[in-house]
A and B are shown apart, each in its own frame.
Chain A
């Protein structure tokens, strides 16, 4: 699975102003609603479901990266977006580090395989230090998209 298969280009955000978990997740879900990838009326319930999932255990996976996510019945195809926070977000990650890069995923309830493949793709690409660093340094959504495209074209992963 490639980034371009599930990341919504129009919903990518950089220079994230929000600096706590709830506000960041709201901002990212809002960007998906603005891009018409989730319905406005489902916005609140998606945000709450993602926060409920975080209560079970942080989705901070290390390296300053988090993958907040949920399933939602209103979704028929896995959709995601990326946000970059320069100052970092306290995400209660297992390694104690602040999160600077977030991949938010919303998937249909009956497709665990797609979600797993998206996580596999994200984690494999982020193991490349250069890719991970460049993403975190991105100042414009367009820069993020370009990096994701380069990763899709195997310009980073070994």
Chain B
């Protein structure tokens, strides 16, 4: 089935920004999808399946990123990943880290 890429602008909500733990959570979830998933900050595009790549974005609280997915489950991937980010990476802003 022919599909077209899905994209959505998301905003980093959690106070600590997209640091190591959220990046790991994001990658873990992104890897569950077959689609190719990327994150963009302005014109910089990185693979959503690499923790190192996500950390290069240096995305602090309030940063807007564009989430892109291309593949058979693109819509599901964008929905789930956007939810993770918009919910501020549940459990992550606990007392530690």
Binding site for B on A (CB under 8 A): 49, 52-53, 56-59, 61-63, 65, 67, 69-71, 94, 112-113, 115-117, 119-120, 122-124, 126-127
- On whether the beta carbons of B15 and A63 are closer than 8 Å, the reply is no
Q: Is B28 an interface residue (CB 8 A)?
A: yes
Q: Which residues of A contact B60 (CB under 8 A)?
A: 112-113, 116
With A53-B96, A94-B24: A119-B55 Cβ-Cβ less than 8 Å = yes
Contacting pair B96 A49 (CB below 8 A): yes
In the bound complex, residues from chain B placing their C-beta under 8 Å from that of A58 are 24
Least CB distance, A100 to chain B, in whole angstroms? 14
- Which one of B16, B53, B56, B59 has the highest number of Cβ atoms from chain A below 10 Å of its Cβ? B56
Residues of chain A with a CB closer than 8 A to B58's CB: 116-117, 119-120
Which residues on the A side are within 8 Å of B27 (C-beta)?
Answer: 94
Residues of chain A contacted by B57 (CB below 8 angstroms): 120
- The size class of the interface chain B forms with chain A is 20 to 34
Give A81 Cβ to nearest chain B Cβ, in Å: 17
**Chain A residue contacts of B94, Cβ below 8 A:** 56
Contact check, A57 vs B17: say whether CB atoms are below 8 A apart.
no
Contacts of B45 in A (CB 8 A): none
A115 partner residues in chain B, CB cutoff 8 A: 16, 19
Contacts of B55 in A (CB 8 A): 61, 119-120, 122-123
6 closest Cβ pairs, A-B complex: A120-B58, A123-B55, A61-B51, A112-B16, A124-B56, A123-B52
